[in-house]
Structure 1
Amino acid sequence: MTSRERLLSVLRGEMPDRVPISPFVQEEYLSYYFNKKNTSRLHDAIALSKELGFDLITRQYINPTPYFLQRDFENWKVAVTKEKVEDNYIRTTTITTPEGELKQVEGAEYNEKILAGIHFSTIKYMLQSQEEFEIFKKYCPKREKQDDDHILGSGVEAREAIGDLGITCPWGIGGVYNLVATYMDVQDMLCDALTDEEYYEDYMNFFTDMVVDEYKVLAGSEFDAVGIQGNIANGAIMSNEYFDEFVLPYEKRAIDILKEAGKPTVYHNCGNAKILYPSYKKSGITVWETVSPKPQGDNTLEEAKEYFKDSLILSGNFDQINFLKTASADEVEKAAYEQMMTGKKGGHFIFSCSDYLEIGTPLENVKALIRGASQAAKY
C-alpha cells in the first residue's frame, strides 16, 4: 500500500497492511528542521516526510486568520499591529464598527524563526461583555465567494502536492468551543452556561453557524479530512455531564455537516480526556487525537483502546515533550516499538505523538521513533 492508501483505509475503518506512522508536524518544527524563517505546513511537511519516510497527514492552516479578521468589510474595519516588546511579540487586532471598537491583544515569546507558527496567549479578549458580543454579532460580516474559493483552491493544491505520500487534513475555522474561547475568556463561558444560559446559547449558536458555513465548503473540497480543534473543552475543566449539555450539541451540529458528506474528521484534544470518552463516542468524530499520557493528559493507550474498540480511530500517544526530547535513541526506539504493539491490536490506530514535534527534538530520536514503530507496524 502507498501511504495514502494506508491512511484512507484506516479512515474507512478497514485494516491496512500496517499501522500508519504519522508524526504531527507544524511550523515550529519545520522552521527548526529546515532552518528558515518562513515555512509551509504543506510543502515543507511533504519534504520532511520524504526525508524521514513517514505517512504524512498534512495539518496546514488554510486560514491562520479567520476571514472576518483578514480585511475590511462594510461597517467593519480591521487594523492589526505587531510589535516586539522586550522579549515578547505583541499582536493587537482592532475592529472598528459604527457602534464602537472591539480589541484583541495577544502575546508570545519572541522567536524570529517561528513567527509564522507562533502560539499566542490572549492578554485582552475581544468580547468581554454582552454588549461587545451584540456589536460583534450585528456587524460581523458574512463569508464571501473569495473565502470559499480560497478553501476549494487550497484543497486542489494540497491534493496535487501530496500525491501518494499521505492525506490532506487542514484545520478548519475551529471546533465551536475553541473558536468562541479565542475571543471570550473560557472562565466566563463556563459560568455563562450556568448563570445566563440564554446569553450562552446566543453566542454559541452564532459561532456554530459560522463553523457550519465553513464546514459546508470543506465538505465539498478535495481535502481528505478535516482537523477540528477541541482541546479547550477538556476533562480538566469540565465534567462529562457539563460537556454533554453545554458543549456537545454545538460541536455535533458542526461535525454532522462533515459526517453527512462522508468527510472524515480528526478531533484534537491533547490534554485530559478520560471522563469525556462517552461524549467522544456520541460526537460522530472519525479520529480522536492524541491520547495524551501524563503529565500532559490523563490517558493511557491501552485503556483507550479497550474503551473505544472500533467505535472510532485513535491517534497518539508517544510523549514528545518529556521523553522524545530527552531519552536516548535506543530508549526511544524501544518505547516506540512497545507502543506500536499496544496500539495496533484490533486496528483503528494511527501511530503518532501526544502533540506536535517540538523545537530541539534530536533528529536521531525522531528517526528512532519512526524506526521502532516501523519494526512492529505490520499486521
Structure 2
Amino acid sequence: MTSRERLLCVLHNETPDMVPVSPFIQEEYLSYYYNKKNTDRLFDAVALRKELDFDLVTRQYVNEIPYFLQRSFLNWDVDNHVDVIQGNYVRTITVKTPERTLKQVEGAPYQEKMLNGIHFSTMEYLIKDSDDFEVFKKYCPRREKKDVDHILKSGKIAKKEIQDLGISCPWSMGGVYNLASTYINVQDMMVDALTEEDYYDDYMSFFSDLVCLDHEIFIQSEYDCVGMQGNIANGGMMGSDYFEEYVLPYEKRAIDILRDGRKPCIYHNCGKAVSLYPAYKKLGITVWETISESPQGDNHLADAKKYFGKDLILFGNFDQIHFLKEKSPEEIEEKAYEVMAIGKEGGHYIFACSDYLETGTPVENVKALLRGARAASRY
C-alpha cells in the first residue's frame, strides 16, 4: 500500500497492510530541521516526508486567523498588526463598528529562528461582556466568495502536492469551545454556563454557526479529512457531566456536518481526557488524538484501546517532550516498538507522538522512532 492508501484505509475502518506511522509535523520542527524562519506545513512537510519516509498527515492552517479578522468589511473596520516589544511578539487586533470598538491583544515569546506557527496567548479578549458580544454578533460579516474559493483552491493544491505520500488534514476554524475561548475568557465561559445560561447559549450557538458554515465548505473541498481543536474543554478543566451538558451539543452539531458530508474528523485533545471518554463516544468523531500519558495527560494507550474498541480510531501516544528528545536512539527504537505493539492490536490506530515534534529533537532520534514503530507495524 502507499501511505495514502494506508491512512485512508484506517479512516474507513478497514485494516491496512501495516499501521500508519505519522509523526505530527508543524513549524517548530520544520524550522529546526531546515534552519529557516519561514516554513510551510504543506510543502516543507512533504519535503521532510520524502527525506524520512513516514505516512504523512499534513496539518495546514487554511486560515490561521479567521476571515472576519483578516480584513475590513462594511461596518467592520479591522486593524491587525504584530510588534516586537521587550523580547515578545505582541499582536493587536482592533475592530471598529458603528457602535463600539473591540480589541484583542495576544503575546508570544520572540523566536529568532521561527516566524510561522507561533503560539500566541491572549492578554485582552475581544469580547469582554454581553454588550461586546451583541455588537460582535450584529456586525460580524459573512464570508465572501473569495474566502470559499481560498479553501477550495488550497485543497486542490494540497492533494496535488501530497499525491501518494499521505493525506491532508487541515485545521478548520476550530472546535466550537476552542473558538469561543479564543475571544472570550474561558474562566468567564465556565461560569456563564452555570449562571448566565441564555447568554452562554447565545454565543456558543453563534460560534457553532460559524464552524458549521466552515465545515460545509470543507466538505466540498478535496481535503481528505478535517482537524478540530478540542484541547481547551479537557478533562482537567471539567468533568464529563459538565462537558456533556455545556460543550457536547455545540461540538456535535459541527461534527455532524462533517459526518453527513462523509468527511472524517480528527478531534484533538493532547491533555487529560479519561473522564471524557463516555462523551467522546457520543461526539461522533472519526479519530481522537493524542492519548497523552502523564505528565501531559492522564491517558494510557492500552486502557483507551480497550475502552473505545472499534467506536473510534486512536492517533498518537509517544512522548515527544521528554522521551523522544532526551533518550538514546536505542531506547527510543525499543519504546516505539512497544507502543506500536499495544496500539496495533485490534486495528483502529495510527502511530504518532502525543503532539507535534519539537525544536531540538535530534534527527537520529526521529529516525529511531520511525524504525521502531515500523518494525512492529505489519499485520
TM > 0.5 fold call: yes
Match of residue 337 from structure 1: 337
Match of residue 144 from structure 2: 144
> Aligned to 1:114, what secondary structure does the other structure show?
coil
Match of residue 206 from structure 2: 206
> Structure 1, residues 247-304: CA drift from partner, whole Å, max 9, x if none?
0000000000000111001000000000100111111100000000100000000000
Match of residue 161 from structure 2: 161
Match of residue 175 from structure 1: 175
> Aligned to 1:314, what secondary structure does the other structure show?
strand
Match of residue 224 from structure 1: 224
Match of residue 60 from structure 2: 60
Distance 2:112 2:287 in 1: 34
Corresponding letter in the other structure for 1:94: T
Match of residue 2 from structure 2: 2
> Aligned to 2:212, what secondary structure does the other structure show?
helix
Match of residue 26 from structure 2: 26
Match of residue 13 from structure 1: 13
Distance 2:84 2:154 in 1: 31
Unpaired segments of 5 or more residues in structure 1?
none
> Aligned to 1:116, what secondary structure does the other structure show?
coil
> Structure 1, residues 10-53: CA drift from partner, whole Å, max 9, x if none?
00000000000000010111111111111110000000011000
Distance 2:183 2:23 in 1: 30
**What is the Cα deviation at residue 113 of structure 1?**
2.3
What is the 5 A alignment of 1:258-277? 258-277=258-277
Distance 1:71 1:85 in 2: 24
Match of residue 197 from structure 1: 197
**What is the Cα deviation at residue 100 of structure 1?**
1.1
Match of residue 95 from structure 2: 95
1:255 equivalent to 2:255? Answer yes
Unpaired segments of 5 or more residues in structure 2?
none
Match of residue 117 from structure 2: 117
Corresponding letter in the other structure for 1:113: K
Corresponding letter in the other structure for 1:96: K
Distance 2:136 2:167 in 1: 36
> Aligned to 1:289, what secondary structure does the other structure show?
strand
Match of residue 40 from structure 2: 40
* Stretches (4+) displaced over 3 A: none
**Contact map agreement 2:42 2:58 (CA 8 A) in 1:** yes
**What is the Cα deviation at residue 362 of structure 1?**
0.8
Relative to the length of structure 1, the TM-score reads 0.99
**What is the Cα deviation at residue 81 of structure 1?**
2.1
Distance 2:58 2:94 in 1: 32
Corresponding letter in the other structure for 1:176: V
Corresponding letter in the other structure for 2:305: K
**What is the Cα deviation at residue 153 of structure 1?**
0.4
Distance 2:85 2:195 in 1: 38
Distance 2:82 2:122 in 1: 14
**Contact map agreement 2:70 2:80 (CA 8 A) in 1:** no
Distance 1:144 1:113 in 2: 35
Corresponding letter in the other structure for 2:205: N
> Aligned to 1:82, what secondary structure does the other structure show?
strand
> Aligned to 2:167, what secondary structure does the other structure show?
strand
Distance 1:114 1:104 in 2: 23
CA RMSD of aligned residues (A): 0.6
Q: Which moved more, 1:38-47 or 1:106-115?
A: 106-115
1:187 equivalent to 2:187? Answer yes
Corresponding letter in the other structure for 1:264: P
> Aligned to 2:323, what secondary structure does the other structure show?
coil
Corresponding letter in the other structure for 2:200: Y
> Aligned to 1:108, what secondary structure does the other structure show?
strand
> Aligned to 1:167, what secondary structure does the other structure show?
strand
Distance 1:284 1:220 in 2: 20
Corresponding letter in the other structure for 1:240: S
Q: Which moved more, 1:12-21 or 1:82-91?
A: 82-91
> Aligned to 1:102, what secondary structure does the other structure show?
strand
Distance 2:3 2:129 in 1: 48
Q: Number of residues paired by the alignment?
A: 379
> Aligned to 1:113, what secondary structure does the other structure show?
coil
Corresponding letter in the other structure for 1:204: M
Match of residue 130 from structure 1: 130
